[in-house]
Amino acid sequence: MSELLTQPVDDVLSRFQSTSLTRLVAASIETLILSGELAPGAKLNEVALAERLRVSRGPLREAFRMLEESGLIHQEKNRGVFVRVIELADAADIYDVRAGLDATAGRLLAERITTEQLVTLRALTDVMLSVAANDVDQFHTLNLAFHDQIVVMVGNRSLTETYRKLVKQLTLFRKRNLLAPKSIPHFAEEHSAIVDRLAAGDATACAEALFAHARGGRQRMLQGGNQEGRRHER
């Protein structure tokens, strides 16, 4: 910061404006990727994106570097920039790390959770319990919100940033909705039980429940991916 104070005001403002613009561009491209408009494996057209976002190629390339660091795209020399393709094995590895983060978040939150936070989580699980057994999309959205809330409530910025980075990468794995409709009530009960453990302040039991819950998701993903692979081989 002291280095900035020795620089001309115009130079400092220019640097901050450039950084802000780069982040805005990166956020816009990230939205296109996570919404599926830019699908895994798609090549990013610099000219088209620059025109669409109304920016020069400089901020766009800086945004590409940020998105590559977050694991959403990759750049290939002499070929261009592509949306990352998450293979089954990659997704399984990400799930392993996410399971550990879920457990850590549960352990930490159980030690400090507030009444207001419990009310928020209980309201989410109540909605989950009311979701129709065939409404996989709504349950998936609620599931993401529930786990994100637990992580955010811990109040650890490093934990939140790392967790969200992994969740975004898993979004590229389009086989994520492998919930069988008939299983929705069961998973809603699992979420409700996690809140019970948080309310009891049982850090160990909460961590174990969240870890097992995440590992169950990993197993369903692997089973679904292997079944799809066998269909393609026929």
Asked whether the predicted pLDDT for residue 63 surpasses 60, the reply is yes
Average the pLDDT over 110-122 and give the result. Answer: 98
At residue 19 the predicted structure's pLDDT band, cuts being 50, 70 and 90, is low
pTM: 0.82
Averaged pLDDT, 85-105:
95
The Cα angle at residue 210 between residues 208 and 211, in degrees rounded to 5: 65
Around 182, how many Cα atoms within 13 Å sit in the side-chain half-sphere? 0
Q: Do domains 2-83 and 88-233 have the same CATH topology?
A: no
Of 11-20, 42-51, 103-112, 199-208, which range is least confident? 11-20
For residue 1, what are the CA distances in angstroms to 5, 6, 8?
7, 9, 13
| Lowest-pLDDT choice from 47-61, 85-99, 116-130, 164-178 | 164-178
Domain boundaries, the chain: 2-83, 88-233
Q: What's the average model confidence in pLDDT over 52-75?
A: 94
SS3 state of residue 174:
coil
User: What pLDDT score does 1 carry?
Assistant: 43
Q: What is the CATH number of domain 88-233?
A: 1.20.120.530
Over residues 37-62, mean pLDDT: 94
Judge whether residue 106 has pLDDT over 80.
yes
Residue 125 Cα to chain centre, angstroms = 20
Write down the residue that tokens 């750049």 correspond to.
Answer: 75
Task: Give start and end residues of each alpha helix (H) in 70-183.
Answer: 88-110, 115-130, 136-154, 157-171
Query: Per-residue pLDDT tens for 120-132?
Result: 999 999 999 999 8
Q: Which residue did the predictor score with more confidence, 96 or 4?
A: 96
Question: What mean pLDDT do residues 86-91 have?
Answer: 92
Across 66-85, average pLDDT = 95
> What's the pLDDT score for residue 178?
53
Buried (b) or exposed (e) across 197-225, using 16+ Cβ within 10 A? bbeeebbebbbebbbebbbebbebbbebb
Q: What is the percent of the chain where pLDDT is above 90?
A: 68
- Give CATH for domain 2-83: 1.10.10.10
Please report the pLDDT score of residue 3 as a whole number: 45
Q: Give pLDDT, residue 228.
A: 53
pLDDT of residue 227: 53
How far is the C-alpha of 191 from the C-alpha of 79, rounded, in Å? Answer: 45
% residues pLDDT > 70 (the chain): 84
| pLDDT higher than 80, residue 152 | yes
